[in-house]
Amino acid sequence: MAEESRRLFVALWPGPALADRLHDLAGEAHRDCGGRRMRRETLHLTLAFIGAVPADRLPELLALLGQLRAPRFQVQLNSLGYWPHNHIVWAGCAEPPPALLQLAADIRRQTAAIGLPASGPAFVPHMTLLRKATATCTPPVAEPVVWDVVEWVLVESCLTPHGADYHRVAGWALD
Ligand code: 2AM
User: Residue-wise pLDDT tens for the chain (175 aa)?
Assistant: 567 999 999 999 999 999 999 999 999 999 999 999 999 999 999 999 999 999 999 999 999 999 999 999 999 999 999 999 999 999 999 999 999 999 999 999 999 999 999 999 999 999 999 999 999 899 999 999 999 999 999 999 999 988 899 999 999 999 9
| Domains defined along the chain, listed by start | 10-173 (3.90.1140.10)
Distance of alpha carbon 131 from alpha carbon 36, whole angstroms: 5
Centre of ligand 1 from the C-alpha of residue 9, in Å: 8
Distance of alpha carbon 153 from alpha carbon 58, whole angstroms: 14
Ligand 1 residue neighbourhood (C-beta within 6 Å): 9, 46, 49, 88, 119-120, 128, 157, 164
Centre of ligand 1 from the C-alpha of residue 154, in Å: 13
| H-helix segments, 16-122 | 16-33, 58-66, 98-113
pTM of the model: 0.96
Distance of alpha carbon 96 from alpha carbon 118, whole angstroms: 20
| H-helix segments, 34-146 | 58-66, 98-113
Distance of alpha carbon 43 from alpha carbon 28, whole angstroms: 15
Cα–Cα nearest to 48, from 154, 165, 157: 154
